[in-house]
């Protein structure tokens, strides 16, 4: 990891540790105040606890032009992104996406859509719904490894993260606490419950929390929808297409709508926020990821709406291309932040329990 970024974050953390004004803002400060000195791993852990709400920046009396020149959200954002890059497996892939996220995302979607369109030309002899265009076996053969291999790459990265931050023994209750904290997004309340200062300088807003929640719960509902379809197919012999009141549709349609709303909102907030309070170099890569997630949900909903029409022939390859790109880029794009954040929250819970 880049030592100059760690050094700068350490300098700022030491000032904060003496000041302690932002004590109740988020989980970063209690974790910071538990230490007198910060190892490189401590700084990486603090950086992954921070979610860049910017509350501490607008409350701080030591920002420029003060000689301390505090900008903790930026210092932690730069360490955080550098840690994901350094810990990514295989190495180098994450850096590639940071530099040219939009081009890589768009290029992969187009290339995969083209491949799926060609595969569609060799239609199966039998099948209903989407399976009339592409066989179930072919879809499973492509998407099962595309789903499992990125998860394996993330597991390697998280193991390295745990070693790097000096991870302690965790229990199921630590994981439960981390899940509760992530699910409620308590840290996005800014400590006082009024929200954060992400998009509108020192005005508090809950917009980012609500759009984040829509994205998270929308994504989980879509995942549950796909999982329920798999259980119906293999467990009960009930094959797609499923009716509007089936479990996959009852979970998938609201999930897709929430995901569209959440990602569109997050992209809009990102255009309003000051890039100099984050990591400006990777702004494009982050935006590309949010737009990719929006494209996954929007094309999925369009495809559902087009069921039974000729539009399925061109919407299906586009949707499958966006989903495949999303899966493959997960360990190297902003999507990885959810996994690192869960690891950081688990480590935080384990440290507090041990203390």
Residues of this chain that bind ligand SF4 (CB under 6 A): 15-16, 19-22, 25-26, 28, 50-56, 59-62, 70, 72-73, 76
Q: CB of 290: closest distance to ligand SF4 in angstroms?
A: 19
Nearer to ligand SF4, 70 or 88 (CB): 70
Nearer to ligand SF4, 48 or 225 (CB): 48
Spatial CA neighbour of 206 closest among 180, 221, 187, 220: 187
Q: CB of 8: closest distance to ligand SF4 in angstroms?
A: 14
Q: CB of 180: closest distance to ligand SF4 in angstroms?
A: 18
Nearer to ligand SF4, 3 or 61 (CB): 61
Nearer to ligand SF4, 71 or 120 (CB): 71
DSSP string across 289-316: HHHHHHHHHHHHHHHHHTTTSTTHHHHH
Q: What is the CA radius of gyration of the chain?
A: 22
Distance CA 238, CA 58 (A): 55
**Quick one: tokens of 139?**
């879809």
205 DSSP β-pair partners: 196
Q: CB of 194: closest distance to ligand SF4 in angstroms?
A: 13
3-state percent breakdown (helix, strand, coil) of the chain, nearest 5:
75, 0, 25
CA dist list (Å): 346 to 6, 76, 157, 171, 276? 22, 19, 16, 9, 29
Nearer to ligand SF4, 72 or 296 (CB): 72
Q: CB of 56: closest distance to ligand SF4 in angstroms?
A: 3
């Amino acid at each position: 990891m880049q030592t100059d970024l760690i050094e700068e974050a350490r300098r700022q953390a030491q000032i904060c540790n003496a000041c302690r004004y932002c004590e109740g803002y988020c989980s970063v400060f209690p974790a910071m105040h538990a230490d007198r000195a910060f190892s490189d791993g401590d700084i990486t852990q603090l950086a992954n606890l921070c979610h860049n709400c910017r509350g501490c920046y607008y409350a701080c009396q030591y920002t420029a032009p003060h000689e301390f020149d505090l900008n903790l959200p930026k210092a932690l954002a730069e360490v955080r992104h550098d840690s994901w890059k350094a810990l990514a497996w295989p190495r180098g892939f994450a850096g590639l996406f940071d530099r040219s996220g939009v081009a890589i995302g768009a290029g992969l979607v187009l290339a995969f859509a083209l491949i799926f369109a060609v595969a569609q030309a060799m239609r199966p002899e039998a099948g209903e719904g989407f399976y009339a265009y592409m066989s179930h076996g072919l879809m499973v053969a492509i998407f099962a490894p595309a789903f499992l291999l990125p998860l394996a790459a993330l597991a390697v990265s998280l193991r390295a993260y745990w070693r790097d931050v000096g991870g302690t023994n965790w229990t199921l209750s630590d994981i439960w606490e981390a899940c509760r904290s992530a699910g409620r997004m308590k840290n996005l309340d800014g400590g006082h419950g009024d929200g954060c200062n992400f998009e509108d300088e020192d005005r508090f807003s809950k917009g980012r929390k609500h759009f984040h929640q829509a994205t998270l719960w929308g994504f989980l509902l879509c995942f549950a929808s796909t999982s329920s379809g798999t259980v119906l197919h293999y467990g009960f012999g009930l094959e797609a297409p499923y009716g509007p009141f089936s479990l996959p549709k009852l979970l998938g349609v609201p999930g897709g709508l929430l995901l569209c709303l959440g990602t569109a909102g997050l992209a809009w907030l990102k255009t309003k926020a000051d890039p100099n309070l984050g990591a400006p170099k990777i702004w494009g890569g982050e935006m590309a990821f949010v737009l990719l997630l929006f494209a996954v949900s929007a094309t999925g909903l369009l495809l559902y709406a087009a069921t039974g029409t000729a539009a399925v022939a061109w919407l299906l390859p586009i949707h499958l291309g966006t989903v495949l790109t999303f899966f493959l880029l997960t360990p190297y794009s902003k999507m990885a932040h959810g996994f690192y954040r869960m690891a950081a929250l688990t480590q935080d819970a384990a440290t507090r329990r041990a203390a």
